[in-house]
Structure formats: C-alpha cells, structure tokens
Homo-oligomer: A and B are copies of this chain.
Amino acid sequence: MKLYGYFRSSTSYRLRIALNLKGLAFENIPVSLVTGENKSPEFTQRNPFGSLPMLEADGRDRAQSMALLEWLDEAYPDPAFLPRDIEARYTVRELAYGIATEIHAVNNLPVLKYLKDPLGHTQDEIDVWYRHWLARTLNPVEARLAQLGTGDFLHGDAPGLFEVVLIPQLANARRFAYDLSNSPHMTRIEAACCALPAFAAAHPDKQQDAT
C-alpha cells in the first residue's frame, strides 16, 4: 500500500494510525499541501478531490479518510475499529463522526487560507476562529464521554475508530494552544493512545517530511 499524505494533515495522521493498528505495511509518500502538489493535474486525475490522504491499495486510488477507515475495517477486520454490537458501533461512530464532520473542514488549511486571503483576517483572528470551533465540538464530546463513563478507551480495552479520529484532532488543538485542562476524559484516552507504538509512530513529528 502507498499512503500519499502530509505530516501535519490530521486526516493523513488518521490513516497512519489506522494502518499501524491494522499491522499493514505501507510506503509513506509525502505530498506538500504548502506548495499545492495535491492540486497538480497528475494528482487530481487520481483523486479528483485533490485531498490528502490518498491510499493506493488493492489496485485502486482511494480518497476520503472516513470512507477509508470504514473500508479498512471491512477489508482487514482484525483488529476491529468498531465493536460487533450494533448499539456499541453507534456509540463509537457518534463521537468519531462528530469530530470528523463538525471540526475538520472548518479548521482545515484551505479555510484558514481563505480567512487570510481574500477575507483579510489576522493570524490572531484566525487563532480565535480555530479554538472557537474546537470548543464547540470537543466540549460536547467530553460531555458525552462523561455520560458514557469510559475508561482508557471509548469501548473495551483497545483503541478504535473514535481514537483514530480523536488523537490527530487533539494534536491540532495543542498546536493552537487550546485549553484541555477541563477535558479529563479526552486527555486520559489521549495518554493511553500515545503510549502505544501504532500511535507514536504516526505522529507528525516522526514523518520524513516534518519541518
């Protein structure tokens, strides 16, 4: 498998964790979001979204990280990202998709760039924007975790779809000096995950294109 990604892309980070957890060997191919390599004709012919990550796997160029995570879990079911029980699967997906659908796009690089140009906002205003949308979804995630009464992981004794999505989001939050001191559930899960080699090796700082 070949993973086309960028060290700081949180969706690429999701895939690096996921492939590591599944024990799937992959070649990590850096694509620069800064120089816009992802918008080249060669790349968009393979992935019309011009987005990262793209996974070349089983004879196909695949985009969209959430679709990729669901596909990986169906094509390579062991270890599972989702519980077997339908109710427990819903519990995991509610929080994983909460983060994936409510935070990601709003705080993604193209939107931050657009706020700067053409909209003319300062970096300070953009930082306030960033933390505003983080809080708007991370606070509910924390509240739901409190309601559910979770341990080191949302479900059972191993990370799954939720943790794969949460950890890159928290890394972004820390980069933007977001206050996590009132989020004991998320930070406990974060500590448990970051102690695992699959997560540690996927960290942005460990990638060959890290700057």
Contacts and interface: CB of A to CB of B under 8 A. Distances in A.
B114 A64 contact: no
A50 interface: yes
Interface string A92-109: 011111101111111000
A186 to B, nearest CB: 13
Interface string A45-79: 00011110000000010111111101100110000
**Interface size for chain A: under 10, 10 to 19, 20 to 34, or 35 or more residues?**
35 or more
Copy tally for this chain in the complex stands at 2
A65 B68 CA distance: 19
A50 B102 contact: no
A48 B143 contact: yes
Contacts of A136: 110
A89 B74 contact: yes
B140 A101 contact: no
Contacts of A176: none
A132 interface: yes
A26 interface: no
A86 B75 contact: yes
B119 A48 contact: no
Interface in A116-161: 119, 121, 125, 129, 132-133, 136-137, 139-141, 143-144, 147
Nearest to A72: B90
B66 A144 contact: no
Contacts of A98: 49, 63-64, 67
Contact of A71 (B49, B89, B106): B89
Contacts of A114: 129, 132
A101 B66 contact: yes
Nearest to A59: B87
